[in-house]
A and B are shown apart, each in its own frame.
Chain A
């Protein structure tokens, strides 16, 4: 299994600002995933990020709101843009495949 770290672990942000979340993996991986977990709810896939290609977004998520970078096989960032209180969630990255995924600890975002 891979060891995954995320930065920051938590943040409190003002509405209208943007936050970039980093995901670092201790080994090279092809596929990385970004999820959102709203308070008391389950995980929802935002996008799949493969190195060397544009991220693929799920229905309801758009690149302008959640731009993703994947510069290499061990790192990815997710930006939450023009934040509103509705963006308050835990954001998690994971690596692996659709059959086996390992998750980072998450970034707890609160938008005021």
Chain B
């Protein structure tokens, strides 16, 4: 079935460096994508979103890039900080049993080294 997946399960990055987290999606009809951050013991927290009519969107220290040609999504974190250590999920909006729903990718754990 349709799915959203990630290339790298774990990313170790030096504090201050930039992080790039990748995500592949398979549903070409998806029109909306979200990145979530999940810290240990907490629920996912919204980071940034992007609609399919855009190829780039920037937030505070984060940038999401969307390449619809190859169905690829990435999250860039600038100047990674210890507080960025978490698991990051991409999610896509697809049509499900109760209408539109979010489908989550497998997750990438980011470990920030001091």
Contact = CB atoms under 8 A, between A and B. Distances in A.
Interface residue tally on B, bucketed by range: 20 to 34
Interface in A46-72: 47-48, 50, 56-59
A12 interface: no
Interface of B: 32, 41-46, 49, 89, 93, 96-107
Interface of A: 4, 33, 41-45, 47-48, 50, 56-59, 92, 94, 97-106
A108 to B, nearest CB: 8
Contacts of B42: 105-106
B93 A105 contact: no
Contacts, number: 58
| Interface SS of chain A | strand
B97 A42 contact: no
A43 B98 contact: no
A100 B104 CA distance: 13
